[in-house]
Structure 1
Amino acid sequence: MPKQNLKDGYKDAVEPQQLKARVRQLQGEMLRSRMMKAVPTADVVVTNPTEVAVALKYEPEEMKAPFVVAKGERLIAQKIRELAREHDIPVIENRFLARALFKMCDVGQMVPMNLYRAVAEILAYVYRLKGKVLS
C-alpha cells in the first residue's frame, strides 16, 4: 500500500474524531450559556463553600417539586454564586445537599424525593427571609 493511501486513511480516521470533539465542546458551551441565563430565575443557590453550586427554582402553583436550573463545579460554581449575589438570590451553604443534588440531578430535572425534606427546609428559610408565603 502506498504511503499516501496510509496518510489518507489516517486523516479519515482523525477528522471525524476532531469533529465529534468540537461538537461536544459547542454543546457544552451552549448548555453553560443557558444555565447562566437561568441563574437569575432561581430561588436559591445551594453550595458546599467553594467547589459545587446548584441553583434551584420552585413555583408551588406550577411545579410538583423544585428543579435544578443550573449546577457547576469549580469555576462554573463560582460564576453561579457571583450571578446569584448580583441578582440578590440567597446562597446557602449545605455541603451534603449541594453534593447530593450535584450528583443526583441534571439541569432541568426535579429534585429527587429523598432530598425533598432538606430542600423544603432551605426553601422555607429563604421564603421567610424574602417574606414570601408557601401555598
Structure 2
Amino acid sequence: MKVLVAFDNSPSGRKALSFALKFEQICDFLTVLYVNPGMVRVASNVDTIVPEAVFNDQDKFVEEIQKAAVELIGDKAIKYEFVKVEATGDEVAKKIYDTAMSRQADFIITGTRKLTGLSKFILGSVSSELIKVAQIPVMVVSPDDI
C-alpha cells in the first residue's frame, strides 16, 4: 500500500504523520507532502515585486518542515520521500489529491485544524475539500485523536 500524508509541521500535521507511521508494517511507500500555500515563484527572468530574500526564507522554512518530518519518522523501517509543491490557498486540496494520484497513492492522511462556524466559512477547510475531490480514501486526523 502507498500512503500520502499531508504535512506542514503543525500539531495536526504532526499527528497525521504519526498516525501514518502506524501503517509501517503494511505501507510499501510513504509520501510526505508539504503544500506551500504562499507565493508561487515565477520565472527568474521576470521582474517581481517580491524580493528574492522572501523566497530564500521560504526555502529555509521548507527545509525545517522536512527536517521535522525526518525526525518524526526516525528509525522506522519505512521507505519514504518528502515532496514539496506550490499552490494558492484555494488549490491546496486539489494539489494534495493530484500529487497522491501522480505517486499512485492508495490512501491519503491529513490533519485538520477543527475550524467551525465563521472561521471555517472564511478560511475554508482543506480537509473538507480534499474529501470532496478525492477518488481514493482520505483519513482526517484531529490533533486530539492520538
| More contact order relative to length (CA 8 Å, sep ≥ 6) | 2
**Normalising by structure 2, what TM-score?**
0.25
Query: Which structure dedicates a bigger proportion of its chain to strand?
Result: 2
Query: Which structure dedicates a bigger proportion of its chain to helix?
Result: 1
**Normalising by structure 1, what TM-score?**
0.27
